């Protein structure tokens, strides 16, 4: 191999290495998020087995019947655990409160740097769960549901967006950021499936329509 050719190969290799390094440096930071939900195909398959059921009433419902936020470890409860999980560069004080960090709200695309601007949304709201079968659960089971970190049931989002959602199902409310609706539908279906909660016809239709486009 000639020395000129060898140098040329060396220059090309160095350029390739530099390009790879540059792409790593410029790559966006991975956004922290809830557990990855089931696939759209799996969600569609489950929905095909669902027989819609009229939604129950909120008679007897109280948020106190779904104790939250539970202690996860030390002084950290479920809310602070989700804030840590869903944020970037989150710093917590000795009481586990988030004192700094950055949070991207998947529902509306807003970024926040104060934890007070965020709510921890129950994807399937507590009142919705009550109307879908949780009214017959024990308080202990409702507590597990309200603090479920294993399924994609909890997510840090802009507080007023969460408040606008209230206890509405996907037949009546969807995240304003349309790019997240497929993920949201997959999250909703997985939570309802795991916890064996019923769906009404409007809810099921909305989910089928979303997932058919995923």
pLDDT tens for each residue of 143-194: 999 999 999 999 999 999 999 999 999 999 999 999 999 999 999 999 999 9
pLDDT digits (tens, 9 = 90+) for 177-189: 999 999 999 999 9
Listed in sequence order, the residues at least 6 apart from 148 whose beta carbon sits closer than 8 Å to its beta carbon are 154, 191
What's residue 3's pLDDT? Answer: 42
- Are 66 and 143 contacting, i.e. CB atoms less than 8 angstroms apart? yes
Half-sphere exposure of 195 (CA within 13 A, CB side): 34
Alpha-carbon gap, residue 196 to 93, rounded angstroms: 38
Sign of the dihedral defined by the CA atoms of residues 121, 127, 131, 134, in that order? positive
pLDDT digits (tens, 9 = 90+) for 78-137: 999 999 999 999 999 999 999 999 999 999 999 999 999 999 999 999 999 999 999 999
């Amino acid at each position: 191999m000639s020395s000129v050719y060898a140098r040329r190969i060396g220059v090309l290799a160095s350029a390739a290495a530099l390009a790879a390094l540059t792409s790593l440096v410029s790559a966006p930071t991975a956004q922290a998020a809830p557990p990855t939900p089931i696939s759209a195909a799996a969600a569609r398959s489950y929905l095909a087995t669902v027989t819609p059921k009229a939604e129950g009433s909120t008679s007897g419902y109280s948020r106190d019947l779904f104790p939250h936020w539970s202690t996860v470890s030390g002084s950290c409860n479920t809310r602070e655990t989700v804030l840590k999980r869903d944020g970037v560069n989150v710093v917590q004080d000795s009481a586990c409160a988030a004192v700094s960090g950055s949070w991207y709200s998947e529902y509306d695309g807003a970024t926040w740097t104060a934890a007070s601007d965020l709510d921890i949304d129950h994807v399937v709201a507590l009142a919705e769960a009550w109307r879908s079968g949780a009214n017959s659960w024990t308080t202990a089971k409702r507590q597990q549901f309200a603090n479920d970190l294993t399924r994609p049931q909890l997510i840090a989002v802009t507080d007023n967006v969460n408040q606008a959602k209230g206890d509405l199902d996907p037949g009546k409310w969807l995240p304003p950021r349309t790019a997240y609706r497929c993920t949201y539908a997959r999250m909703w279906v997985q939570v309802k499936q795991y916890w064996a909660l019923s769906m009404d016809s409007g809810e099921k239709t909305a989910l089928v329509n979303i997932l058919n486009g995923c």
